Amino acid sequence: MADFVNNWLGIVLTAVVVISILACGILLIMQSKIKVKVGADGKPLPVETTGHVWDVDLQENNNPLPGWWMNLFYITLVFAVVYMLLYGGFGSYKGVLNWSENQEYTDEIKAGDAKYGPLFQKFMAMDIQAVARDPQAHEIGERLFLNNCAQCHGSDAQGVKGFPNLTDKDWLYGGDPQTILTTLHEGRNGMMPPMADAVGTPEDVLNVANYVLSLSGSRHDADKAKLGKAKFAACAGCHGENGQGMQAMGAPNLTDKTWLYGGNIESIVETINKGRTNTMPSYKGVLGEDKLHLLAAYVWSLSNPATTNDAAPAK
């Protein structure tokens, strides 16, 4: 709590903590005064119930808590006070130990840099392809991938609908080491606008969708594909006249059988009508240059396993 910058917030939190501890202490003291009543014969007298009865005769008696249990609660309160005095649990009070979670984080980063910095610098001095062939670098890159990329591309890097497969040779922006590194640094913003109006009528959209399927030899209606070829001109500005895509724009190749959102007629019609928007965030501010270098090497190795020798990609 010492890291809060607003003094009024620290005062409010201090009040809440102090009142809570005092309230718990008062409640414990009140409960500690309740004793089991004993009769003249020294035996405990019957106590009232809470009014809860189960299975005809199973009832909950209103007995006081055992003394050892109450003592545990007292110890807990004392521990809470001591802990917050040591570590700064009262608003902006920094505590006897002057501990700060920000400082703790900074110290851990410094310790990590001191321990692993020389290793990262060693790999930074190597080109990405050489790093990809190093088994130790491959292991580090894999862990970086699992922590930062697997959420979208999958732990096996084979992608899911809307997220590219990184283990094949099909790349939207290019799969050479430098392009992959640029993608990790800067991120990518892919956008295909809705093209229904540019194509024409709903029937024209269906014809274009069939033509797109024909480009990859996928199952399609040949007659509709012939009609859609002329209308495909509205799409050629990005995908090229032959539908082979443009990596400079991130426009996919439509002549292979690799589909980001599905290669059936329904998915393609939906894409033409509604467009698609994809964003890969930039990792420049998340991972340092050295880690991005290792990560780029690992990603490149996924689609180039034959060149990485012992550093085989995870499957």
Residues 286 and 253 in one domain: no
CA distance 44 to 42: 7
CA distance 146 to 294: 13
Residue 92, domain member (yes or no)? no
301 lies in which domain range?
Answer: 110-187+281-307
Residues 131 and 202 in one domain: no
Q: What is the pTM of this model?
A: 0.69
Looking up residue 214, the CATH number of its domain turns out to be 1.10.760.10
Residue 103, domain member (yes or no)? no
pLDDT for res 285? 86
Residues 183 and 285 in one domain: yes
Residues 200 and 270 in one domain: yes
Rounded to an integer, the average pLDDT of 145-158 is 94
Asked which of 53-67, 167-181, 190-204, 287-301 is least confident by mean pLDDT, the reply is 53-67
Rounded to an integer, the average pLDDT of 277-305 is 93
Residue 266, domain member (yes or no)? yes
Residue 100, domain member (yes or no)? no
Residues 53 and 74 in one domain: yes
Rounded to an integer, the average pLDDT of 278-290 is 91
pLDDT exceeds 70 at position 257: yes
Residues 198 and 174 in one domain: no
Residues 212 and 250 in one domain: yes
Rounded to an integer, the average pLDDT of 174-203 is 94
Pairing mode, strands 188-192 and 276-280: antiparallel
Residues 246 and 272 in one domain: yes
Structure tokens at 193: 């606008």
3-state secondary structure (DSSP) of residue 188: strand
pLDDT exceeds 90 at position 188: yes
Residues 6 or more apart from 220 whose CB is under 8 A from it?
210, 211, 213, 214, 265
CA distance 76 to 83: 10
pLDDT for res 3? 55
With bands split at pLDDT 50, 70 and 90, how would you rate the model's confidence at 5?
low
The number of domains in the chain is 3
Portion of the chain with pLDDT greater than 90, in percent: 64
Residues 249 and 218 in one domain: yes
CB–CB of 163/153 below 8 Å? yes
Residue 15, domain member (yes or no)? yes
Residue 1, domain member (yes or no)? no
Residue 142, domain member (yes or no)? yes
Q: What is the CA radius of gyration of the chain?
A: 33
Residues 68 and 13 in one domain: yes
Residues 19 and 134 in one domain: no
Per the listing, tokens 């922006």 go with: 173
pLDDT exceeds 80 at position 314: no
